[in-house]
Amino acid sequence: MARARINNRIRRLRFDHNEMTQEELAGRVGCTRQTIIALEQGKYVPSIELAFKIARAFGVPLEEVFQYEE
Amino acid sequence: MSISQKTAWAQLAIFGALVIAWLVLFITNGTIFYWQNNTMKITFYWLCAAAFAGLVLMNIVASIVKNRTKSVTDERDRMIFRKASLWATGTSYTVVVALLLALAITYMNGASETVPVNFPLFIVFVGGVTLVLTQAITALIMYGRKVNYGES
């Protein structure tokens, strides 16, 4: 069975939102800057709750931030 | 580097130093199992006490920092800590059981019914050190590779 992969566009969205810093995004969603770095590097797949918070911070639907590939 | 990563590095440094100190102590005294004099015994206990006191102090400082600062740890840190703790507990149990079995087999083969009181204590210390070291190493490995919250 092929392993599923979840990609994200956080880095792109940060730049589209007035070059929002990692620190700023972390503050808005209530996580550490290290977690934002790990997310952008594809080293961490977050919980549903954090995923929704990130999407809400950018004001976009969840699917615009995270993509599921099989 | 997050506070949890710093804590894991400190744990590794303190308990790595303890293991090295034990090895030096054992090698210079010529044997792993028999403590030949009181000085060695007391040094061994002091090393253990200092390391565990360091661990407690470090966790107190870390919890004070966590309470004062906003978002120094999050779901990723907690998940890594949980996973590392599971690995550490499993490894520690295995080591303790293996040492107890080795002790039993050694003494049964030697046709001796008595075991020196130092052995069980030594095994408890080794179990504790294995627990802390495994937790630190596993956490540091997990910080460096891909982790999935859903797999926790």
Find the residue in A nearest to B144 (Cα): A43
Return mean pLDDT, chain A: 87
Retrieve residue B38's tokens. Answer: 């009181």
Q: pTM value?
A: 0.78
pLDDT at B13 over 80: yes
pLDDT at B138 over 80: yes
The residue with greater pLDDT, B151 or B109, is: B109
- Res B131: pLDDT: 93
Note whether B73 contacts A32, CB cutoff 8 Å: yes
Name the DSSP class of A19.
Answer: S
Q: Measured between alpha carbons, how far is B5 from B11 in angstroms, rounded to an integer?
A: 10
pLDDT at A2 over 60: no
The residue with greater pLDDT, B90 or B2, is: B90
Find, among B61, B6, B149, B74, the residue nearest to A27 by Cα.
Answer: B74
User: What is the tens place of the pLDDT at every residue in A35-66?
Assistant: 999 999 888 889 999 999 999 999 999 998 99
pLDDT at B14 over 90: no
- Res B32: pLDDT: 54
User: What is the tens place of the pLDDT at every residue in B15-67?
Assistant: 888 888 878 877 777 665 555 566 777 777 787 788 888 888 887 887 777 67
Find the residue in B nearest to A24 (Cα): B71
Which residue among B2, B75, B145 sits closest to A43, beta carbon to beta carbon?
Answer: B145
Rg (CA), chain A: 12
- Res B104: pLDDT: 84
Which residue among B72, B75, B77 sits closest to A50, beta carbon to beta carbon?
Answer: B75
Say if residues B87 and B95 touch (Cβ distance below 8 Å): no
A38 part of contact set with chain B, CB < 8 Å: yes
A31 part of contact set with chain B, CB < 8 Å: yes
Return mean pLDDT, chain B: 82
Name the DSSP class of B101.
Answer: H
- Res B70: pLDDT: 63
Per-residue pLDDT band for A1 (boundaries 50, 70, 90) equals very low
Q: Measured between alpha carbons, how far is B33 from B56 in angstroms, rounded to an integer?
A: 28
- Res B31: pLDDT: 61
Which residues touch B139 (CB under 8 Å, ≥6 apart)?
Answer: B4, B5, B8, B80, B81, B84
A27 part of contact set with chain B, CB < 8 Å: yes
- Res B85: pLDDT: 93
Helix (H, G, I), strand (E, B) or coil at B32: coil
Q: Distances from the Cα of B115 to the Cαs of A3, A14, B80, B110, in angstroms?
A: 52, 65, 39, 11
Q: Measured between alpha carbons, how far is A37 from A23 in angstroms, rounded to an integer?
A: 10
